């Protein structure tokens, strides 16, 4: 069975994405994760371009990697300098990596307009650069930059550039769709022609400017390429690089070719989120395979079918890539949605139980008011408990007041007073906070702490507000989602109101009630 080598360029090409910046510590941490999952090649950066990448290649030598080879990246030497005198070439050698990847010009437009040299001089540069690096006992990967554009305008010359790299001793020829403008059919034909011309190890490097980066990478593998380059989550310049989080499971599960092992593939979901976290990026919930919505089911008929056989609406079991199935609640939900989610939350409802009808009716009423329970499982659990008649509130809200005062010196003070009832005893508590919601949260905790000391272990982890009807302006309803957690787990609650403070209050109350209920 063929083995496809996975080449990750997140640490170099990925950092060219708008809004992405990785520190040296970030790059080392991601390197460890990539090695853990079994990536064959990790492109660490361009040692001749900046101090951070120079430092990276020194630090990475201290790691004891089990699966990955580190590659230093650079270009062919300049026409005005001999290859052995080129500073960038020396920097590549000094990076002390087992693999060096260099790119060269294969599109004659770039040779004329960018390099401003003759076609023959460019061929000489490619040949000499590869040969110089091979003499240093390195594995050399030659990235044929703009190969597909070059081939489409001048196929004979594009192929000559590949020949020059091969004659220099390149171990791999990687065909690059650098501008991301090639469509699948034409890419396949061109790869086919390259294979007819050269008997060598081929790789593919695609970008997503036409929305077919992953499709092109898979098509190239179908045509015989045995190395694929890409980035985690598809981050990269402009529209991004081909996404390895889609490519790898397609190779393993759909093409049935070797790349990562099955246990390694199960770490893909965690790797994706880890990189997003370090890069300070919001995860794409609709990303294939590893997005939060990739195996989420909302329609009642779909959920009913999935309950009987998951293959009815899932192309693979989510666990294969470390993801999980999610059953969503909304106005589109049916009996199966409610029963399955209740079961996941430890509440057993029967098929003929009247409770599920009451819950479903209440959900649809609340969603009509602007509530959303897809990401608020704690609020849903409280809803079910109340419908079952098994919920006895440990406290009742009797009102609150919030005052925000801006003083003459510019100081802003938020103060909240809450009134709650515990066992027919009225408790009034006041607290200040960094803002009105924080003041409310603090006052509520202070009021409850004497009776329920476990409240001190609850921490607010995330707070999101969404305006439901922007046309209403400042009078619009808002939906507040709050994520809370303790030392054991996290949970989400929701509140809706035309008043952002009241919406926050209901979400806070649900959060505290859920904590007390689960304890």
DSSP string computed for 27-91 = HHHHHHHHHHHT-SEEEEE-TTT-HHHHHHHHHGGGS--SS-EEEEEEEPPPTTS-GGG-HHHHH
Mean pLDDT of 187-202: 97
> How many residues can be counted in the chain?
519
- Secondary structure element (H or E) that encloses residue 341, with its range: helix 335-344
Q: Which domains are delineated in the chain?
A: 5-279 (3.20.20.70), 296-385 (no CATH), 396-518 (3.30.160.270)
**What residues have CB less than 8 Å from 122, skipping those under 6 apart?**
104, 105, 111, 115, 161
Q: Which of 483 and 220 is assigned the larger pLDDT? A: 220
For residue 517, CA distances in Å to 310, 340, 395, 482, 487 come to 32, 20, 11, 17, 16
Q: Which of 298 and 109 is assigned the larger pLDDT? A: 109
How high is the pLDDT of residue 303?
Answer: 64
Over 112-163, what HEC string results? HHHHCCCHHHHHHHHHHHHHHHHHCCCEEEEEEECHHHHHHHCHHHHHHHHH
330 band by pLDDT with thresholds 50, 70 and 90:
low
58 band by pLDDT with thresholds 50, 70 and 90:
very high
Has residue 301 got a pLDDT over 60? yes
Mean pLDDT of 220-228: 98
**What residues have CB less than 8 Å from 264, skipping those under 6 apart?**
37, 38
Most confident option among 19-28, 375-384, 429-438: 19-28
**What residues have CB less than 8 Å from 344, skipping those under 6 apart?**
327
Distance of CA 320 to the CA centre of its chain: 17
How high is the pLDDT of residue 297?
Answer: 75
202 band by pLDDT with thresholds 50, 70 and 90:
very high
Give the span between the Cα atoms of 296 and 237, in whole angstroms: 30
For residue 455, CA distances in Å to 393, 396, 402, 514 come to 15, 16, 22, 11
Q: Which of 159, 157, 147 has its CA nearest to residue 197?
A: 159
Give the span between the Cα atoms of 102 and 113, in whole angstroms: 20
Q: For residue range 249-287, list pLDDT tens digits in order.
A: 999 999 999 999 999 999 999 999 999 989 988 888 899
What is the model's pTM? 0.75
Do residues 378 and 493 lie in contact, with contact meaning Cβ atoms separated by under 8 Å? Answer: yes
User: 489-511: string of b/e by CB count within 10 Å (b at 16+)?
Assistant: eebbbbbbbeebbbbbbbbbbbb
Q: Which of 145, 105, 147 has its CA nearest to residue 125?
A: 105
How high is the pLDDT of residue 50?
Answer: 84
């Amino acid at each position: 069975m063929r083995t496809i080598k996975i080449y990750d360029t997140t640490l170099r090409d990925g950092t060219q994405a708008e809004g992405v910046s990785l520190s040296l510590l970030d790059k080392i941490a991601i390197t460890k994760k990539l090695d853990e999952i079994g990536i064959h090649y990790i492109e660490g950066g361009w040692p001749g371009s900046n101090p951070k990448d120079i430092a990276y290649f020194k630090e990475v030598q201290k790691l004891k990697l089990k699966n990955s080879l580190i590659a230093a990246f650079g270009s062919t030497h300049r026409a005005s300098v001999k290859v052995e005198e080129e500073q960038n070439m020396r920097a590549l050698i000094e990076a002390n990596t087992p693999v060096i990847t260099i790119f060269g010009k294969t599109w004659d437009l770039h040779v004329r307009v960018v390099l401003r040299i003759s076609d023959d001089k460019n061929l000489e540069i490619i040949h000499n650069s590869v040969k110089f690096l091979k003499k240093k006992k390195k594995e050399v990967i030659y990235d044929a930059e703009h190969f597909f554009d070059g081939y489409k305008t001048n196929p004979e010359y594009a192929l000559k550039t590949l020949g020059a790299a091969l004659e220099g001793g390149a171990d791999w020829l990687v065909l690059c769709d650098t501008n991301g403008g090639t469509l699948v059919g034409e890419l396949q034909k061109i790869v086919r022609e390259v294979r007819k011309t050269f008997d060598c190890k081929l790789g593919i490097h695609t970008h997503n400017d036409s929305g077919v980066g992953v499709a092109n990478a898979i098509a190239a593998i179908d045509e015989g390429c045995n190395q694929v380059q890409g980035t985690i989550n598809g981050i990269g310049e402009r529209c991004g690089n081909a996404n390895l989080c889609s490519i790898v499971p397609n190779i393993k599960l759909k093409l049935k070719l070797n790349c990562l092992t099955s246990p390694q593939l199960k770490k893909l979901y965690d790797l994706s989120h880890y990189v997003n976290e370090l890069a300070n990026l919001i995860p794409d919930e609709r990303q294939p395979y590893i997005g939060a919505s990739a195996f989420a089911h909302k329609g009642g008929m779909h959920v009913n079918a999935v309950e009987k056989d998951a293959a009815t609406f899932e192309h693979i079991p989510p666990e294969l890539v470390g993801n999980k199935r999610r059953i969503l609640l909304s106005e589109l939900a049916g009996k199966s949605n409610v029963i399955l989610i209740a079961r996941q939350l430890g509440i057993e409802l029967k098929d003929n139980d009247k409770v599920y009808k009451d819950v479903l009716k209440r959900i649809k009423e609340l969603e009509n008011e602007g509530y959303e329970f897809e990401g608020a499982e704690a609020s849903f659990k409280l809803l079910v408990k109340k419908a079952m008649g098994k919920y006895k509130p440990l406290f009742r809200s009797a009102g609150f007041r919030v005052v925000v005062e801006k003083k003459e010196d510019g100081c802003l003070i938020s103060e909240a007073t809450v009134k709650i009832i515990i066992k027919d005893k009225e408790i009034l508590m006041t607290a200040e906070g960094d803002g009105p919601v924080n003041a409310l949260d603090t006052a509520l905790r202070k009021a409850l702490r004497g009776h329920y000391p476990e409240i001190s272990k609850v921490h607010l982890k995330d707070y999101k507000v969404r305006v439901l009807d922007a046309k209403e302006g400042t009078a619009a309803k808002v939906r507040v989602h709050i994520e809370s957690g303790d030392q054991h787990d996290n949970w989400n609650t929701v509140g809706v109101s035309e008043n952002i403070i009241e919406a926050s209050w209901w979400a806070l109350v649900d959060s505290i009630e859920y904590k007390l209920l689960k304890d």
